Amino acid sequence: MAYTALEQMRQENLKKYGRDVGPCQPALCGSGLIRTDLKSSALRFLHERCEKLQFDKKIADREAATGVLEGTSLKPAQIPYNMQMDINRLCLEKALERFIDSGVAEDAYDVYYCYLEIFFGHYGKSKKMVELLSEYESNGSSLLMKHRDHYSHSVYVFALGLAIYETNETFRRTFKKFYRISTKEDNREADRKAACLFLKYWGLTALFHDIGYPFELPFEQVISYFEVNKIKRGKGSLYVAYHDLEFLTGISEDAAGRFRRLYHREFRDIMEVLAFDITAKLGERYGFTEEKMLDILRRKPVAPGDFGYFMDHAFFSACRLYSEIEKSVGAADIEKLHVDALSAILLHNSLFKFSISFYKDKEKRKAPLRMEDHPLAFMLMLCDELQCWDRTAYGRNSRTELHPMAVDFDFHGGALHACYYYDIAESDKIEAFRKSYKNWEMNGEHGDAPRLKAFSDMAEKEQRFTADIEKIVDTKDIPLHIVPATREANRKSKHIFLSTSNFLHLYDFAVALHGRNRGESTPIKELEKQFEALSLEYQLSTLGRAKNFSRYLDAINCFYTDKPVGYEMVREFTPEQAAVFAPMEHERWIRDHQMMGWVYGTDYETVPLSCDAAEEKQTRRALREQMRCHKLAMDGNVSREDIHEHYLSLPEADQDKDWKPFNSMLKLLKKFDGLRIYRLD
């Protein structure tokens, strides 16, 4: 069983009540067929390989001995602890499914949120680390010549890694061997342990490998000031550099002690730790010393002229993530795998390519990275290069270049077959390139070949896109077969509304929605504390309501903004407006519950109880969470019209739940960045 704690709860309920009252075992998307596309492979990894993720046997034994449950659902102590862990994994699975289906940043947000809640404790601690990347890119990147999205990109990279792990036996075996996990066939426990380990540390590597971009962007903005006049960067360029980095690279005394116990060495900062780790893994094969590597790292932020006048965001990503790990995970719980994730991030951009392997220099070029050298770095470099589709272009030149908008992957047999799709509306550019390239070939291939950004790298006979990847990582065990194609663009899933938040308000929206009945005088910190007491499932549900707020406002010709605008301010929603968006909110609630495996049912209200009347209400609420059935849920493949009819049939008190919270929220929004809601007409 994929979700073993849910099944255990089901069997206990069957024994207690004499019939099957749930909970249901969640179905895998596309179950019944073993598909090898990106979505199916990534979701199958989460659904089937990661059984018992974050389970705690000590807590389970304590629950069995005391009869007191320690898991949180809507309230604390409603479900077994391991059942909560199963539901958390299901949240991540469904969040990744939503993102792969849509590709929108708001759904990428949910994946980050789930990962941080599951592995870091709670999102609130680390939210600025990921939210500021989105804020910097959307607001500052338009000043650059070349720049594309790295927020959704990182979640695609994460999904790619899961899919490759799921479908490539050689990588799975290499990963287990590298981390001293049994590679014996049919060792289910070793497979499960390795998959859970990979999920945790691959997630850390993939999701946060680009969080250092806010340090690179100011550098590029200054350089772009001159490049706009077609002046190439080089000697004489004006550039910024970073000094006094101790606040970013320093380690606490507790962390220094932890590293001493892990490596039997003294380290003064995280750069020394990473120089040691990279040298231990790659130094002998690539011919560099720890002293040389440390010198490179120390010059990275202060002397960009030594590195082609580029600032390496990977350096800042690794350092920034380390400081977050020490703060959130705690110095005492830092593991070597945390360092492996950091060194993988540090290597992924320019360090390995230009300071270790020199992959573009025919005379100095060294061998590509093997998966057995550093599995996490290998996977990050491979997936980072492959993920070039569906990325929002921010830079001046990037917005006019031709980039792939979609891709079809097939990982069958451990190989990687990819067809990248370009917008058929750009066929004139493609045909012009093909003619130019053919003429270049017929004229003896003198001079540089014609280029059309990514398309030419995939379409020309040199196969530059594939060839460059093969120079960076050794693909003998993951053969690449890449082709370009064209098709019509489908942007229906990219819902864009006047209200945009760049994620700086989503968390605050959700906190306000949950705390709507606490009153305007309740301190924000208290509202956040109450929100964080919810389980991940209920936090995501509230975030879903907040994310859809812009869609609801659009439906009633309203929008929110933190800018002063000349429109009528909305202070309260009218019954007429509520009649428009309340059924939309009810549909969201129904769909979310279906996706999370809830079914229609009233057993929690009718099964006989042995408790007294004073405890009955709370007991039946806990039963609802344990059975995962709800009297307002709907089963089957229901249409929007079906749900609307269902909404209209509800008692007024239940209908009010779908719109009155938004009226209460209006009174709280002024606490959060001065947001106001306005009417267009």
- What are the extents of the domains in the chain? 195-387, 413-487
Can you give the pLDDT at residue 272?
98
Q: Which residues, other chains included, contact 545 with Cβ-Cβ below 8 Å and sequence gap of 6+?
A: 510, 513, 585, 588, 661
Can you give the pLDDT at residue 493?
52
C-alpha dihedral, 156 to 159 to 161 to 165, nearest 10°: -160
What is the pTM for the complete model shown?
A: 0.93
Can you give the pLDDT at residue 292?
98
Per-residue burial over 309-329, b = 16 or more CB atoms within 10 Å of its CB, e = otherwise: bbbbbbbbbbbbbbbbbbebb
**Mutual angle of helices 506-514 and 660-668, in 10-degree steps:** 120
Can you give the pLDDT at residue 443?
82
Residue 8 has pLDDT above 70, yes or no: yes
Q: Which residues, other chains included, contact 313 with Cβ-Cβ below 8 Å and sequence gap of 6+?
A: 210, 212, 213, 215, 216, 349
CA 69 to chain centre: 31
Q: What is the rounded average pLDDT of the residues 65-81?
A: 96
Confidence tier at 5 by pLDDT (50, 70, 90):
very high
Residue 669 has pLDDT above 50, yes or no: yes
Residue 406 has pLDDT above 70, yes or no: yes
Confidence tier at 32 by pLDDT (50, 70, 90):
low
Residue 224 has pLDDT above 80, yes or no: no
- What is the enclosing helix (H) or strand (E) of 487? strand 480-487
Confidence tier at 128 by pLDDT (50, 70, 90):
low
Q: Which residue has the higher pLDDT, 53 or 32?
A: 53
Confidence tier at 397 by pLDDT (50, 70, 90):
very low
Average pLDDT, the chain: 89
**pLDDT tens track for 499-524:** 765 555 778 778 888 877 666 667 77
Q: Are strands 406-410 and 480-487 parallel, antiparallel or unpaired?
A: unpaired
Can you give the pLDDT at residue 670?
63
- What is the enclosing helix (H) or strand (E) of 654? helix 652-656
CA 604 to chain centre: 35
Closest CA to 31 of 597, 600, 640: 597
Residue 495 has pLDDT above 70, yes or no: no
**pLDDT tens track for 581-590:** 999 999 999 9
Q: Which residue type occupies 22?
A: G
Residue 467 has pLDDT above 90, yes or no: yes
* Helical residues (DSSP H) of 264-402, grouped into ranges: 270-278, 284-286, 290-299, 313-328, 336-347, 375-386
Residue 129 has pLDDT above 80, yes or no: no
Confidence tier at 396 by pLDDT (50, 70, 90):
very low
Rounded Cα distance between 22 and 67, Å, is: 20
- Using CA atoms, how far residue 134 sits from 4, 137, 630, 680, in Å, is 37, 5, 37, 27
**pLDDT tens track for 538-572:** 999 999 988 888 889 999 999 888 778 889 888 88
- Which range among 42-46, 437-441, 646-650 shows the weakest confidence by mean pLDDT? 437-441
| Phi/psi at 465 (5° precision) | -60, -50
Token code pair at residue 334: 């830092």
Residue 169 has pLDDT above 90, yes or no: yes
Percent of all residues in the chain with a pLDDT value above 90, rounded to a whole number: 62
Q: What is the rounded average pLDDT of the residues 237-249?
A: 90
CA angle at 93 for the pair 87 and 99, rounded to the nearest 5°? 135
Q: Which residue type occupies 280?
A: A
Can you give the pLDDT at residue 258?
98
Rounded Cα distance between 501 and 547, Å, is: 9
Can you give the pLDDT at residue 672?
58
The residue with tokens 């704690």 is 5
Per-residue burial over 427-459, b = 16 or more CB atoms within 10 Å of its CB, e = otherwise: eebbeebbeebeebeeeeeeeeebebbbbbbbb
